Amino acid sequence: MKGLRFLLSRAIQGLIVMFGVSLLVFFALFLTGDPAVLMMAPDSTAQEIAEFREAMGFNDPIIVQYGRFLAGALHGDLGNSLRYSRPAMDLLTERLGATALLALSALLWSSLLGFLLGAIAAVRRNSPIDFAIRVISLLGQAVPVFWLALMLIILFSLNLRWLPSSGYGSFEHLIMPSLALGAYYLSAITRLVRSSLIETLGENYIRTARAKGLTEWRIVVRHALRNAMIPVVTLQGMYLASLMGGALVTEIIFAWPGIGRLAVEAIQNRDFPVVQAVVLFAALVFVVANFLVDVAYTWLNPRIRL
């Protein structure tokens, strides 16, 4: 019952956050002046702008406009794209699959390798292996994504001609974007797993397990890793949410048809309904990811339910 109350409170907090985001997304359109002027082409006549303003309902009271916007958002209707004359949510869902594929593949390989390297570094603390892993992790977080992406293209596409430099549709197209995107997360996860495991391995119950004669790796896998997972789960949840909101640089460099690229194109074309849809979706992903992290907390550490 207490665990259910804990999750219910988190769900209510998530709804409050989404309501606040909807207010910001809606009223941001009015901060720079007349939204009809912003959305129309620069060479539009006053008559065309007036007709557009009436068609979009901008002449109605602001509270009526927000109520209409909120009702539409709850039904998945955020208006039509000004550029493509199609529902903004349809454009978003079309790009969702590509973004999800890139995000999950990058997070999957970086998490698996990060857990392995972090555990090795923690068990072999202050050894040459630990030092090498820490140096690699530091370099991985220091190297910009755009530079790594360009180096991968130069090496594997231009010089070796093993992989396509851009595009979408096959496993070969996925390799370099996933490597470029996951390199930073690999380094972050490795360092966090190492520090969490080192702290956990110093607990009294770990000393008891060692006194019983258990091997070090059995202690790590069966006893230490679960307790060390809590900060790592938080990190993974936030990373997944940020990736699902669109990996702007990676998608642009590799011409990957994802949500991040859609957002950039919408901003360039002043396609505000699509921009609003992307921002609301990104906020929803963060809220859902936080809730799933809270659910994982109650499984990893039952004391959190209290």
Tell me: the pLDDT tens digits for 173-191?
A: 999 999 988 888 888 889 8
Percent of the chain residues past pLDDT 70, beyond the cut: 94
Tell me: the pLDDT tens digits for 45-91?
A: 888 778 877 887 777 888 888 888 888 888 888 888 878 888 888 88
Average pLDDT of the chain, as a whole number: 83
Which residues on adjacent β-strands are paired with residue 87?
A: 80
Which domains are delineated in the chain?
A: 1-89 (no CATH), 93-304 (1.10.3720.10)
Which one has a higher pLDDT value, 144 or 36?
144
Q: Flag whether pLDDT at 33 surpasses 70.
A: no
Instruction: State the burial class of residue 212 (Cβ atoms within 10 Å of its Cβ: 0-12, 13-18, 19+).
Output: exposed
Residue 17: how many other CB atoms lie within 10 Å: 15
Of 18-22, 23-27, 199-203, 272-276, least confident by mean pLDDT is: 199-203
The DSSP secondary-structure symbol of 224 reads I
